[in-house]
Amino acid sequence: METVTKSFDVLVVGNGVLGLSLGLTMARRGQQVAVLGEAHRPYAATTAAGAMLGCFGEVTAATLASESGRAKLELDFQATGKWDTWIADLAEDAGEEAADAVRTATGTIVLHNTIGVPEIDDAGMAAIRQAMDLYGAPYEQIAPETLDWLDPQPTARPLDALHIPGEHGVNSGALLAGLQQALVRRGGTMIAQSARKVLTTASGALRGVELADGTALMGDHVVLAAGVGSQKLLDTVPQAAAGIPRIVSGLGVSALLSTGHCAAPAPTSVVRTPNRAFACGLHLVPRGASTVYVGATNTMRPHPGDLPTVRGLQFLLDCVVRQLRRDLWFSGIAKVQVGNRPVSLDGFPLLGETQLEGLWTMTGTYRDGLHMSPLLAEKMTEWILDRKVPAELELFRPVRAPLSVMSREETIRYAVVHRLATGHEWDWSLPVEWPGVMEELFELSYRQHADDIATDFTPPPDLLAFVPAFPELGTMLKEYYAAVRGSFG
């Protein structure tokens, strides 16, 4: 028999950075809000995140080429301007000590090094400059040799570097702790259980959620902000899930390394390369006086995972010591982390109300969820409570035509080049003609898979590239396109 314990104005499913941020803004508005999720946050993205507050550092050549790419960049830009106030307000709600622990890096250095592929890195650096010029954002070109901490192997030396003074980094663990403390102080409720089912009435109206122990919680609104875990909840209400791109995992491996033995103190800024090899570039974020965060890898998988792969960890650490600092070879590994970025099947966020009134999604943010969290919490709160549809989020409603940034030919080319870029980052040693042969084979493979999936829709290149390794991704894409073809084809 169902046991109902309590009713709330808003139930937020997911206790990562998006769920906690939304819960906090709701509590500040006087709502009775509960945030649900297991304390150890299985499969979360936030707990393994480098937490770069990157807007322009994430720009690629494809970003400005489409409406959806430009709309997402606009969200990132607006979010950048929210963080100073967000941290100041956190200090008021959670205490100065909690807020002071959040920010760990000031500014960002983007490196253009010899490991990069011209079609990706040269174009990426140019796109970053173009985007900053478009928005009037300050930046400075600097000589890499002036970066005292940088000491890569000579074959990975940087050719150029950009300093972006307005893009910082935070400690994701300290941020989560501060948000949770602030939420509770504001009268919000933390429930250390996961939700396993969305509950509806006999007539199909929203009631609330059922917890893992069978307890039912009632809510006027339910917001699915559980990252990749949101998909299981959507699957319990097929009438709401129809037409929404499924959420899959962009599994990443990161590590915390000791730097006490290094000949130079750790940098005070984020250090990164442009986005490449299907990931957000190689990056390092300081975490105190003698620890640095390094990340990250990205493997698209149909389902989340919780264990680092040998391949992923070896690739990451090899890139770090060769491209950033050689004496990190002797570092102690303080922690290895695994995170699951929530990626929708069209690669863009799922923000807004589903076809079931009162059931909302706030996920699918891929690499940008933490950075955009203050902005999304504010906009989603206004949308839910004031019924004001934010113009910035309109394009990313969960029920929509598949969004795209590239033509089929561009998508295939992107997937091929980024796959080859992974090999260059591995420092592969091959006969000179072999990469050309491999390029032709990758192109043939990706074209065949794209044609097999659909002729009228093309998956994002990040997903297409992993279909050969994970055929279930291809099946998911086929089923999604079949479901929306009648409405949006």
Q: Residue ranges of the alpha helices (H) in 223-283?
A: 230-234, 238-241
Give the pair of three-digit tokens for residue 162.
């950009």
Question: Smallest Cα–Cα separation from 412: which of 442, 457, 455, 453?
Answer: 442
Which are the contacts of 181, defined by CB distance < 8 A and separation ≥ 6?
93, 94, 95, 98
The residue among 67, 59, 71, 127 whose CA lies nearest residue 404 is 67
In this prediction, residue 131 carries a pLDDT of 98
- What are the start-end ranges of the E strands in 267-422? 270-272, 283-286, 291-295, 299-301, 333-344, 350-353, 359-363
* Per-residue model confidence (pLDDT) at position 489: 59
The per-residue pLDDT string of the chain (489 residues; one tens digit each, 9 = 90 and over) reads 566 678 999 999 999 999 999 999 999 999 999 999 999 999 999 988 989 999 999 999 999 999 999 999 999 999 999 999 999 999 999 999 999 999 999 999 999 999 988 999 999 999 999 999 999 999 999 999 999 899 999 999 999 999 999 999 999 999 999 999 999 999 999 999 999 999 999 999 999 999 999 999 999 999 999 999 999 999 999 999 988 999 999 999 999 999 999 988 889 999 999 999 898 899 999 998 899 999 979 999 999 999 999 999 999 999 999 999 999 999 999 999 999 999 999 999 999 999 999 999 999 999 999 999 999 999 999 999 999 999 999 999 999 999 988 999 999 999 999 999 999 998 888 999 999 999 999 999 999 999 999 999 999 999 999 999 999 999 999 999 999 987 875
Closest C-alpha among 314, 270, 284 to residue 422: 314
Maximum alpha-carbon separation in the chain: 69
If phi over 0 gives left and psi between -120 and 50 gives alpha, with beta otherwise, what is residue 227?
A: left
Q: Rounded CA gap, 113 and 323, in Å?
A: 8
**Distance between CA atoms of residues 41 and 45, nearest Å:** 9
- What b/e string do you get for 411-420 counting C-beta neighbours within 10 Å, with b at 16 or more? bbbbbbbbbb
Residues 186 and 24 sit within 8 Å (Cβ to Cβ)? yes
What pLDDT shows up at residue 488? 75
Length of the chain: 489
Q: Are 224 and 360 in contact (CB under 8 A)?
A: yes
Beta bridge pairs of residue 224: 13, 361
Tell me 265's DSSP state. Answer: P
How many CB atoms are closer than 10 A to CB 112? 20
- The single residue listed with the structure tokens 């709502």 is 31
